[in-house]
Amino acid sequence: MKNPILIPAWIDGTLQPVDKLDAHLRGLRHKAVSIFVMNQGRILLQQRAADKYHTPNLWANTCCTHPNWDEDPALCAERRLDEELGISGLKCTHRGQLEYRADVGGGMIEHEVVDAYLAIAPDDLRIAPNPTEVQAIRWVTPTTLTREIAKDPTPFTPWLRIYMAEHANTILGSN
């Protein structure tokens, strides 16, 4: 049996290590990290792999994850960019902490306290998506993304819709 992935979650007001799947099934408030990589005013989006345990096939921001128990969020952001997209060497700038709660299907709730990061990519950025995590990537301007979400939100993860509607200025700012 695979070892559980323990993430920091609050139970009765105390931060405790909790199995990631259990945190989502119970809707526990837990720590997360989201990264937006941009180049020339465009955001790098990823389409989640078909085998993901929630929100498969949906488009999300560049990278989202949960820090391991006692893992620094900035180091987590760098680690996960490499694991999911083969991206290394980018400077991730902390853009603040935000919180959201969203139904992600299958009886699961994401109730996340997110450390949001922005990284500016060079034109020659090397991207090598891990097929168990990411099935496709694309670059899109924030304006186009907002328009696409307004027209049909179903191809996008709940958290990306929330980020663009409620937190785009905080996260993307005047990159």
CATH number assigned to the domain comprising residue 122: 3.90.79.10
Structural domain including 72 reads 6-170
Is residue 175 included in any domain, yes or no?
no
pLDDT, tens digit, for every residue of 76-108? 999 999 999 999 999 999 999 999 999 999 999
For residues 13, 19, 25, 28, the Cα torsion angle rounded to the nearest 10 degrees is 20
**What is the number of other CB atoms lying within 10 angstroms of the CB of residue 162?**
18
**pLDDT bracket for residue 1 (50, 70, 90):** very low
Is residue 1 included in any domain, yes or no?
no
Is residue 60 included in any domain, yes or no?
yes
Is residue 46 included in any domain, yes or no?
yes
Distance CA 135, CA 142 (A): 21
Pure H helices in 9-157: 20-26, 73-85, 142-151
Give the catalytic positions in this structure: 64, 112
Is residue 161 included in any domain, yes or no?
yes
3-state helix, strand, coil in the chain (%, to 5): 25, 40, 35
pLDDT of the residue at 174:
59
Distances (CA, A) of 156 to 6, 58, 86: 26, 5, 22
What is the count of structural domains for the chain? 1
Evaluate if residue 175 carries a pLDDT over 80. no
pLDDT, tens digit, for every residue of 26-65? 999 999 999 999 999 999 999 999 999 899 999 999 999 9
* First vs last C-alpha separation in the chain: 44
